[in-house]
Structure 1
Amino acid sequence: MDFTEIYRQSSSLVAFSPGGHFVLTALQDRIIVRRTDTFQITRTWLVDASPSQTNLFLSNKQNVNVKAKSSQTSSSLASDNWITHCGWSCDSEYILAAFAKRGVVHILKLRDEDWSGRIEAGTEGLTKAEWAPDGRTILCFSEWGLRVTLWSLVTGTATYIQFPIHPDRGYAFRADGRYFILGERHKSKDTLGVYDAAESYRLMRHFPLPTSSLSSFAVSPTGNHIAVWEGPLDYKLHVLTLAGNLLATFSPEPDPGFGIRNVAWHPNGMFLAVGGWDDRIHILDSLSWSAVATLELSPRVPSTVKVWREPPKWMENTEGRGFLSYERPQGVHVLPLIRSDQTKPNPKSGTAQLEWNTTGDLLLVRFDNVPTAVHIFDFPSPQEVFVARLRSVLLHSHPVISSRWNPARKGSLVLCCGTQGVYTWSDEWVSESGEEEEMAECIGVPAQKFEARDVKWAPDGKGFILFDKDQFCCAFEVEDEEVEAM
């Protein structure tokens, strides 16, 4: 791995462009664009953080008869001038920069220094802004779940949709970007709206949901089905068509007592992985919508499963530079399970993460009961007998904070634990005999002070971004090392 220098950032707003040629960084009220080949700055903007007229009027009204503010309040007001959301359009032509607390969104053009756009929210406020898949429409979610506004850069018009349930997890686009699906609440009932993005977001379907309190939903990769599930107190998942027809309802027996935490569609839409606050993961198939396999967390790892353990004090031994392979303990291994108190809110239990790799033959699972471990389950191909099994377990000295599959390679994983190192796992290592084998390595970040808290892959899968609280760096594969490995 070849690491770049350490750069400043704010709110973890750093992103590769869709083509992977640029890196976008938000630093307080500035937007910085760098080239990924040299990391030289290509463009930089000082974005106007002045509030919208409505926001300014409401702020002045609230501040009437208010005495001088404390230094803590002044610091809070200074952070209001920071960019809260930013991102690339799908063709890397435009950049979005939003100040949610100011109620404004700026649109910048990469190759035109003089062109810019500005969107001002009204009295409804602004909590979130992002691009639609077409790269010419911006979604703006208002405060208090009042509405979502879709602003078109092509026509200069806006489409308003009322009463979205969740601005963070209650909406989705179909994989081809044709339909926008939004969870709504009308007359105290959960509903789902389907809007045609190619027809200025014209309403196509609007139907009630069988849920009493919608937690979230997920659209299948094929776009034919929608999985919706209840809140945290009811373990129920419903599968519907895009027309609103209910196909099946899944609820395990016996009832675990808590709801669903994570749901992940298989890349080809054939399976659906469901995990709750218990230690079980149910795999549903798209033929019967019933559980064809149940994966359960066990404190004892069988000897047939490969266990990779982070070497103790490897950071001190390598002085934070270079890389070191994981240890391979033999025999049956016992995991250090944490017993959570189920009587308290948000107990540390259940499935913290469910994520398939690009081909769907591997499933990554993280359990809150074992925060230092990553489980990798192996799934057969469609031509083989369906038997899911635990393949590998990665054990670490600190709790795993973030883990991501490579978006371009089927067997490459990167994760971080809030330390000055990054951890990789791959099943694409070619041995001397010519066979593919697993390899897990600890890689130190060559910096005096850096704690990797999150990681994001580049679109081509040849590098990734590592985030600290207010810093970031990038790591890329070294071509010479790839040749030697082959």
Structure 2
Amino acid sequence: MNFSETLTFGGLFEFSPDSKYFAINRSSNLNIYQIKTTELVFSFPLLDIPSQILWSPNSELILAVCQKKNTLQLFSCINRDWNGRIVMSPTGISRVFWTPDSYHVGVVTDFNLRVSIWNLCDMIVYHIKNPKFEDKGLSFNSDGKFMLLAERSECKDYIGIYFTGDWSVVNHFAIDGIDIEDAFWANDTTIIIIDSCVTYQLLIYSPLGYLVARHRPYDNGLGIKSYSLSANGVFLSVGSYDQSARIFSKISWRFLTEFEHKTEGLNQNVHVYKEEEYKEGFTDEKLYSRFVVQNTPQKLPSIKVPKDKPNPPIGVGACEWSCNSAYLATRNGNFYIDNNPNVVWIWKMNDLSLSTILIETQNLKNFEWSPKSLHLVFCTGTGRMFFWGSEGASVCEVPLESKDFKVNKVKWSPDGSCIFACDKTRFMIGYPKFDILEAPNENYF
């Protein structure tokens, strides 16, 4: 893998949706670079250190949130002379989002008082009261014509459906749940409701307000911890505190199978890769790393976690689908600490079975599938990146000149051509040599 030079930044990084640029913050400046050459293209001055940067869906505009100033600053990557500013004082800023048409900016105010939606063409502003969340419970359908918003009013949960043409309400209905945690579109005809984690309850509603399905696999236990829709629109994976990932069909909304994260009694057909550190020669003090194929272990490495404390670090805390929905990668617990803090589980959907287990020497930080091929990248806070694909597992060392560079986060570009890797204050761009731009050969659906 080839790498760019190491650059410093202030902690914010975003690829443009068209994969031509990436944006970072450096002090009170917003810098735009070309992805292929890492050449600085634009540098925009800001009022303060930004708390968030967001590209518009068409990649023409970029927005910086100066939360301390209660101000949004907008810049154009097509016309350098164009810029805009939205001042939200005194309501404050809790969350900012773009609408799919790239002509509206939405702002959730402090204390979730309302959602303000600004039209960038004529600067008309629309207000929607009582959003329940600041960072979830808001999504758009496939063509962007309708917005779903989870709302809380008079101690009850509601779903509001709004037409994005004039932001008028299309439907508004109450939810038969305890205290919903999230709501989002499954497709244009169904809505997924995640109920409170104190009980396992998955609710499926139609936009008209009818309850389509309800799933409660068990009672008297903590419920849903993570969830993810497959890329091909066929499956919904739901990770729970009982250390299982349940798969539901998006066609009939029936339960299909349960992936149990057992530490003992693994199938002999499971491929197991274990990271091993070694030294080259007697004088070289640097530790290198490689994956070694293991016999199916009798028991996976795990730690005992306290179950008598709030929010215990147990259960399936991450579910990520491959780009063609042929594989599901899971993490048994929260990142940094859990039952199996250094294990990645990969399940294959053609026969609904466990395919691969990857055992690391250090705890996992994050993992992410390529958006264009069957390659999973993950990191453990060391000077390495790890890959898994249908051909096997591999280790990639960061360049030697990048001393003390610890990879704490990895992220693919939208076109899958490169990978962002960062530590606390530095980052670099990796350019994989394998052909990641071809369409995946495996597609079972």
3-state SS of the aligned residue for 1:327? strand
Letter in 2 for 1:367: N
Residue in 2 that maps onto 1:157: 124
3-state SS of the aligned residue for 2:277? coil
Residue in 1 that maps onto 2:73: 106
Letter in 1 for 2:308: T
Q: Residues 174-228 of structure 1, C-alpha deviation per residue, up to 9 Å, x if partnerless?
A: 232221111001111100111112x1322111111112211112321x3221111
Separation (CA, whole Å) in 2 of partners of 1:40 and 1:315: 36
The CA RMSD measured in Å over matched residues stands at 2.3
Residue in 2 that maps onto 1:414: 377
Instruction: Tell whether 2:407 aligns with 1:452.
Output: yes
Separation (CA, whole Å) in 2 of partners of 1:37 and 1:361: 30
Residue in 2 that maps onto 1:311: 276
More helix by share: 1
3-state SS of the aligned residue for 1:43? strand
Residue in 1 that maps onto 2:226: 262
- Structure 1 unpaired stretches of 5+: 50-80, 381-386, 428-437
Q: Residues 264-307 of structure 1, C-alpha deviation per residue, up to 9 Å, x if partnerless?
A: 22333332211111111111224553322111011123321000
Report the CA distance shift for 1:91/1:482 in structure 2 as closer, same or farther (over 3 A): closer
Separation (CA, whole Å) in 2 of partners of 1:315 and 1:167: 51
Does structure 1 conserve the Cα–Cα contact (< 8 Å) formed by 2:416 and 2:436? no
Residue in 2 that maps onto 1:283: 247
Separation (CA, whole Å) in 2 of partners of 1:86 and 1:407: 21
Residue in 2 that maps onto 1:6: 6
Report the CA distance shift for 1:365/1:256 in structure 2 as closer, same or farther (over 3 A): farther
1:125 to partner: Cα distance:
0.9
Separation (CA, whole Å) in 1 of partners of 2:191 and 2:130: 20
Letter in 2 for 1:93: E
Instruction: Tell whether 2:341 aligns with 1:377.
Output: no
Report the CA distance shift for 1:257/1:316 in structure 2 as closer, same or farther (over 3 A): farther
Report the CA distance shift for 1:143/1:482 in structure 2 as closer, same or farther (over 3 A): closer
Separation (CA, whole Å) in 1 of partners of 2:224 and 2:420: 30
Separation (CA, whole Å) in 2 of partners of 1:403 and 1:359: 17
Residue in 2 that maps onto 1:66: none
Residue in 2 that maps onto 1:216: 182
Letter in 1 for 2:347: F
Q: Residues 204-261 of structure 1, C-alpha deviation per residue, up to 9 Å, x if partnerless?
A: 11111112211112321x32211112112111110011222101110013x2610211
Residue in 2 that maps onto 1:200: 166
Residue in 2 that maps onto 1:93: 60
3-state SS of the aligned residue for 1:156? coil
1:314 to partner: Cα distance:
6.6
Residue in 1 that maps onto 2:200: 235
1:28 to partner: Cα distance:
2.6
Separation (CA, whole Å) in 1 of partners of 2:148 and 2:286: 46
Separation (CA, whole Å) in 1 of partners of 2:56 and 2:123: 17
Separation (CA, whole Å) in 1 of partners of 2:249 and 2:314: 25
Separation (CA, whole Å) in 2 of partners of 1:299 and 1:128: 40
Does structure 1 conserve the Cα–Cα contact (< 8 Å) formed by 2:107 and 2:117? yes
Does structure 2 conserve the Cα–Cα contact (< 8 Å) formed by 1:19 and 1:459? yes
Instruction: Tell whether 2:394 aligns with 1:441.
Output: yes
Letter in 1 for 2:91: E
Instruction: Tell whether 2:308 aligns with 1:343.
Output: yes
1:482 to partner: Cα distance:
10
Separation (CA, whole Å) in 1 of partners of 2:104 and 2:202: 32
Show structure 1 runs of 4+ deviating over 6 A: 314-321, 479-483
Separation (CA, whole Å) in 2 of partners of 1:319 and 1:223: 57
Does structure 2 conserve the Cα–Cα contact (< 8 Å) formed by 1:250 and 1:289? no
Q: Which moved more, 1:268-277 or 1:135-144?
A: 268-277
Report the CA distance shift for 1:29/1:239 in structure 2 as closer, same or farther (over 3 A): same
Q: Which moved more, 1:341-350 or 1:223-232?
A: 223-232
Separation (CA, whole Å) in 2 of partners of 1:219 and 1:156: 28
Does structure 1 conserve the Cα–Cα contact (< 8 Å) formed by 2:372 and 2:437? no
Report the CA distance shift for 1:179/1:482 in structure 2 as closer, same or farther (over 3 A): closer
Report the CA distance shift for 1:233/1:315 in structure 2 as closer, same or farther (over 3 A): farther
Separation (CA, whole Å) in 1 of partners of 2:144 and 2:170: 15
1:102 to partner: Cα distance:
1.7
Letter in 2 for 1:24: A
Separation (CA, whole Å) in 1 of partners of 2:437 and 2:91: 53
Separation (CA, whole Å) in 1 of partners of 2:25 and 2:225: 31
Report the CA distance shift for 1:395/1:121 in structure 2 as closer, same or farther (over 3 A): same
Separation (CA, whole Å) in 1 of partners of 2:178 and 2:436: 55
TM-score under structure 1 length normalisation:
0.84
Separation (CA, whole Å) in 1 of partners of 2:343 and 2:318: 12
Separation (CA, whole Å) in 1 of partners of 2:217 and 2:146: 31
Instruction: Tell whether 2:259 aligns with 1:295.
Output: yes
Does structure 2 conserve the Cα–Cα contact (< 8 Å) formed by 1:320 and 1:421? no
Separation (CA, whole Å) in 1 of partners of 2:58 and 2:74: 14
Separation (CA, whole Å) in 1 of partners of 2:225 and 2:436: 40
Residue in 2 that maps onto 1:433: none
1:123 to partner: Cα distance:
2.1
Report the CA distance shift for 1:211/1:28 in structure 2 as closer, same or farther (over 3 A): farther
Q: How many residues align?
A: 429
Residue in 2 that maps onto 1:15: 14
Letter in 2 for 1:4: S
Separation (CA, whole Å) in 2 of partners of 1:314 and 1:251: 51
Report the CA distance shift for 1:242/1:4 in structure 2 as closer, same or farther (over 3 A): same
Residue in 1 that maps onto 2:35: 36
Does structure 1 conserve the Cα–Cα contact (< 8 Å) formed by 2:70 and 2:90? no
Report the CA distance shift for 1:482/1:118 in structure 2 as closer, same or farther (over 3 A): closer
Q: Trace 1:447-486 onto structure 2 (pairs within 5 A).
A: 447-478=402-433
Letter in 2 for 1:290: R
